[in-house]
Amino acid sequence: MEQAVSINEMKLTKKDFESDQMVKWCPGCGDHAILKSVENVFPELGIPKEKFVVVSGIGCSSRFPYYMNTYGFHSIHGRAAALATGIKLANPELSVWMITGDGDSMAIGGNHFIHLARRNPDVNVLLFNNRIYGLTKGQYSPTTPKGAKTKTSPQGTFEPPFNPGALVLGARGKFFARVVDTNMKMMSEVFAEAAKHKGTSIVEILANCVIFNNKIHGLITGRETKNDNQIFLEAGKPMIFRQERDKGLVLRGTRLEVVNIGENGITEDDILIHDPTTEDPGIHMMLAEMKPPEFPAAMGVIRAVKSQPLEDAVWASIEHEKEVSPLKSVDDLLHTGNTWEVS
């Protein structure tokens, strides 16, 4: 929620949001960069520091609230979405951030996660997807690729994984974005977009677990391979990727296809323009599902559709009822209906 206080007056900096607690993630963990990016974004949002609430569930990522100097709540496994919803409904003026992981939100908290997306309170979700259980030391998660050998899948997993983006869209989510933990500029930009969006905004962060699943996103984030395997989507712009800007996406029939610009008479004009605002999730779903080697993985804001946040609807109803209800106090309520007097 935007505040009437001007940024200049507040002069918030990164320092305002750094906590005095020791950060206990493993050296080389992707979470460090995510924390820095968040610390960079918060002072820029024009929100007084006491209005931020950072909540989480359980897992490596969920230690996050302790590392931010804001109001924070480290809750229980999988339930941060419910906690965030309660906070936002109770006080819509708070800027609520939910930190979660693939185990926390795709497994034990899957139910709360889809209902958060469906209900659409103005909560910003940062989903750290490292495709493994880190804090419990290396068991497969609902996003672990099928066949991956982990401590609990010595023969390789038998289960196909979730794609968080597809899950969000399937749950009728209004905002979904994806970033990589190796690009702080991208993270800061997209987190700010998420903050501005009214309603539940879910950002999947492809995060690296250096200990138990190192380089799981390597094809997408690797120095040598990222040029081919990432496309950063921007609203109103053609879906072009590679630094050379020589590849793009077109819609052929009902499928997306990668084309080489400049070959076979294809020009930039033939490339699909990204529109994150369409209610129809068809293209957004295809974008969320793209993965190497056939496609680059989609980064940036894939979907951002305007829709009334839950708390706005609830509080509008409260304001309306306050005005029209003949009941001004609980005393009035106690005397409604059939009463009788004994004198």
Partner 1 sequence: MTVKNDRVVELDQAVIRFAGDSGDGMQLTGNLFSESTAFAGNDFATFPDYPAEIRAPQGTVSGVSGFQIHFGKVDIHTSGDKADVLVAMNPASLKANMRWITEEAVIILDTDAFIEKNLIKAGYESNPLTDDSLTGHVVVQAPITTLTREAVKDLHIDNKSAQKSKNMFALGMIFYMFNRTYERTFRFFETKFQKNPLVVEANKKVLSAGFNFAHTIEAFANTFKIKPAALEKGIYRNVTGNLATSWGLLAAAERSGRKLFLGSYPITPASEILQEIARHKQFAAIAFQAEDEIAGIVSTIGASFAGSVGVTSTSGPGLSLKSEALGLAVMTELPLVVVNVQRGGPSTGLPTKSEQSDLNQALFGRNGEAPLIVMAAQSSSDCFYSAYEAVKLSVEHMTPVILLTDGSLANGSEVFKIPEVSGLPDINPPIVEANDPDFKPYKRDGEKLRRAWAIPGTEGLRHRIGGLEKEDIYGNVSHDPLNHEKMSRLREEKVERVANYIPELEVDGDPDADFLVVGWGGTHGMMLTALEQLRDEGHSIAMAHFKHIKPLPRNTREVFSRFKKILVCEINLGQFVNYLRMSLPGIEFDQYNKIQGLPFMVKELKQKFLEYLSD
Under the binding rule (CB under 8 A), the answer on residue 51 touching partner 1 is yes
Under the binding rule (CB under 8 A), the answer on residue 341 touching partner 1 is yes
Residues between 74 and 93 with contacts to partner 1, criterion CB under 8 A: 74-76, 79, 81-87, 89-91, 93
> Would you give the end-to-end CA distance of the chain in angstroms?
54
235 or 327, CB closer to partner 1? 327
Under the binding rule (CB under 8 A), the answer on residue 72 touching partner 1 is yes
Chain centroid to Cα 45, Å, comes to 17
Under the binding rule (CB under 8 A), the answer on residue 19 touching partner 1 is yes
- Paired tokens of 126: 């940062």
Q: How many residues does the chain have?
A: 343
Under the binding rule (CB under 8 A), the answer on residue 277 touching partner 1 is no
Q: Contact region for partner 1 (CB under 8 A) — 25-33, 37-45, 71-79, 268-276?
A: 71-79
Question: Cα–Cα distances in Å, from 120 out to 36, 129, 270, 316?
Answer: 27, 21, 35, 15
Q: DSSP labels for 57-118?
A: -SSSGGGGGGGBSSEEEE--TT-HHHHHHHHHHH-TTSEEEEEEEHIIIIIITHHHHHHHHH
- Using DSSP bridges, classify how beta strands 71-74 and 247-252 pair: parallel, antiparallel or unpaired: unpaired
What mask of x and - would describe binding to partner 1 in positions 316 to 335, judged by CB under 8 A?
-xx-xxx-xx-xxxxx-xxx
- Using DSSP bridges, classify how beta strands 297-304 and 175-180 pair: parallel, antiparallel or unpaired: antiparallel
Number of residues that bind partner 1 (CB under 8 A): 58
8 or 329, CB closer to partner 1? 329
CB of 99 to partner 1, least distance (A): 12
Residue from 38, 112, 188, 288 touching partner 1 (CB under 8 A): that is: 112
Buried b (16+ CB within 10 A) or exposed e, 292-307: eeebbbbbbbbbbbeb
29 or 55, CB closer to partner 1? 55
Chain centroid to Cα 343, Å, comes to 63
- Paired tokens of 82: 């419910």
Under the binding rule (CB under 8 A), the answer on residue 120 touching partner 1 is no
Binding site for partner 1 (CB under 8 A): 19, 21, 48-51, 53, 55, 58, 65-66, 69-76, 79, 81-87, 89-91, 93-94, 111-112, 115, 314, 317-318, 320-322, 324-325, 327-331, 333-335, 337-343
